[in-house]
Chains A and B, each alone.
Chain A
Amino acid sequence: QKEVEQDPGPLSVPEGAIVSLNCTYSNSAFQYFMWYRQYSRKGPELLMYTYSSGNKEDGRFTAQVDKSSKYISLFIRDSQPSDSATYLCAMKTSYDKVIFGPGTSLSVIP
């Protein structure tokens, strides 16, 4: 079993839809959870960062962490064509390296 699993997609939604992106993980020691967005031919950029369980909201984006289920989610409300990108979940323990999921490719169709 891989340490972090993520459905690669591709996921295609109409503009304005609510998007749900998910990751599962196996290491219960992970405490810090991140979502990165990567546009085509660019490096990943940090989108959301959360510590431990709970929700965090930033504009149209909500990150959710359920440590009891080892499951994290990213919700995008009112999705826009500019949200079309690959989304990578990532997580780490206190001082260890960040572990990345393989990424989900999202297309938002106008």
Chain B
Amino acid sequence: DVKVTQSSRYLVKRTGEKVFLECVQDMDHENMFWYRQDPGLGLRLIYFSYDVKMKEKGDIPEGYSVSREKKERFSLILESASTNQTSMYLCASSLNRPYNYGYTFGSGTRLTVV
């Protein structure tokens, strides 16, 4: 069964900490994505990557950065965590094809910044 694995289900961090969220996929997918999901706001794209060492800003990149050193791994970095970054973070991956059957999502990381 294809999988996207996010390293933590729940995280609690302090304001100002540097936070790393890790995502690994085992499907040899080219594309990887980071979203945050908040009630009433839906899924909002933070960053995405179409290839190793490549990254593109999504709709809300401020306060975040990403790293993709290997095809299977896409990391989201909160440079200095703030309380407004408390959210559910979802990683997804997909094939780089027009008929790619959409995205496969991980189970999410619920991050609380105190």
A contact residues vs B (CB 8 Å cutoff): 8, 31-32, 34, 36, 41-46, 49, 51, 88, 90, 92, 94-95, 97-98, 100-103
Contacts and interface: CB of A to CB of B under 8 A. Distances in A.
Contact of B98 (A42, A43, A88, A95): A95
A60 to B, nearest CB: 20
A32 B101 CA distance: 9
Contacts of A51: 99
A6 to B, nearest CB: 9
| Chain A contact residues, majority secondary structure | loop
B105 to A, nearest CB: 3
| Size bracket, chain B contacts | 20 to 34
A100 B105 contact: no
Given A8-B40, A32-B98, A95-B98, A41 B108 contact: yes
